[in-house]
Structure 1
Amino acid sequence: MAKASDFEGKKQDELFYFVDYSPEEAERVGYSNYSYWGSVIQNFLKHKAAVVCLILFLFLVIFSFIALAIGKYDYQTLVTDSSLAFRKPNSEYWFGTDNLGRDYWCQVWYATQVSIRLALIVAVGESILGVIIGLIWGYVRKLDRFFTELYNLIDNVPYIIYMTLIALVVGQSFTIMAVSMIAIGWLVMARRVRNMVFMFRDREYNLASRCLGTPLWRVLTKNILPYLVSVIILRMALSIPATINLESTLSYLGIGLGIETPSLGLILSKVRGFFLDYPYLLVFPASIVSIISISFYIMGNAFSDAADPRNHV
């Protein structure tokens, strides 16, 4: 052990020296390996059922294209032959035939593509419009009364009335249906985002950020958005099966996409008078709708939990 006498003969500058400040070293010391989206993915992968549902849905989407490619008949050139009506599934007609003798395999898988595409477009459109309006609604206090009254005005009218009027006045097509659903469906997303923004807007760290001159967009994206991601993802996931179910209901009532645009809802509406005698007409499209609905319900809840920063350790 060194004694005090050993240092007596040394100069002070030999015992002590100033350490140079290095911004790079300071950043390295304070650096954290935490990644928000990395943690979201890790937490999501822990939910085995949700991962299985995700794989099942992706397989369903990919197989819908493969099924049309390997099918013996083309949907665009379906030939009506009443003598082939109500043929049960066999080696020639893998899903059987409908009441007009048309191949049911290509109809179901083509309709699956249309329904999934419609549901994804509506879910993304509702989310973008709802998040933008919800952020403005929740953060700008002067506009709270205006958006609240607008929400109450639109929400108090039954959804089916809007869609009926649009179908009768504007028309029935894929684009009209998608735009109509987005124009009305943003209400739920905007309301939830508004409530979350209103809750976190005046937290201490947000007040401190604003006092330090942090730009508004950075406060919203860095301080508030991580707490909104779980709500947004859950709403998007639930919107997809809800859109398919709503489109099925509208097609059943005759105000859906239209006869020229097949969908799972339109197919289900056509077979409602035959499925008791020919159950295969209902089993195949209903099974696809059920798989999509259950998958997104499980995935939505799992991803919502994984996206919540409070569940990250």
Structure 2
Amino acid sequence: MNLTRVSEFQLMGFSGDPGLQPVFFGLFLSMYLISVVGNLLIILTISSDYHLHTPMYFFLYNLSLADICFISTTVPKMIMNIKTHSRTISYMGCLTQMSLFIIFVCMDNMLLTVMAYDRFVAICHPLHYTVIMNHHLCVFLVLVSFALSVFESQIHNLIVLQISCFKDLEIANFFCNPSELLNLACTYKFSHTILIYIIGVILGIFPVLGIIFSYCKIISSISNISTSNGRKKAFSTCGSHLSVVCLFYGTALGEYFGSAVSQSPRNNVVASFIYTVVTPMLNPFIYSLRNRDISRILKKLQRMMVKSLIVLHPSWTNV
């Protein structure tokens, strides 16, 4: 029966087995805390050291902030539902979650593209880097990224608000996935499909092509460097970003093709979990382990914290 008046949806999540709920609760909570703390450490590290106030770390600062917001749109609701033994989410809550999810996943996409452009300028045009990547341009690029993300989110919201009835109230995921929510519509206008594909191409394909173009130019410039140490140093400046790009788009494509090939709800939920939870959690580790500047400042902050604790608790020196 088609449902015309909808007040809430059911988020099916991973499993309804009561025995597994404590496991899921602990898993989601621990991964959420690791992600938030890790990204906050990146933000604190960049803010605390003047030497990291450069365009590359300015974009990384905003990427970490976007990752915190990204994971916070889905996981806290899932944790609350597990704790309260409830699967429901209100209609407006579902639209809000979908809107915020699109905003921050697009922000990640745009910021990774901007960071690729930053690495392209730094390696291919090093003498003009400080002139091209000035503070005003960096702020402008972040603001444009946010504006485009909000624009895409509002397009999806307007389309969902025009849906007059739903075939079902059960969303086969742990959050209001936009594609799954649209699939529940009784009638789906062809014009809406065309509009979503156009927006997807503009805000999805073009950034990917921009990243590919940037790295083609970067690889070409690195190959022209005569010394092996010079090539290694040049590539190390973009190694962390390239790792995050591969992780982000690899999991995104895995979710997309996995849902297209397999109609199993369980497989789709696992793919969404990797994309929305694992990726934001691993980003801080990639940048802290592969970036010498971040590692150096983190160790410095750690030593400062240890010294502060010793001053407050002198007896700990004997432990």
TM-score by length of structure 1 reads: 0.29
Return the index of the structure with the highest Cα Rg: 1
Normalized per residue, the structure richer in helix is: 2
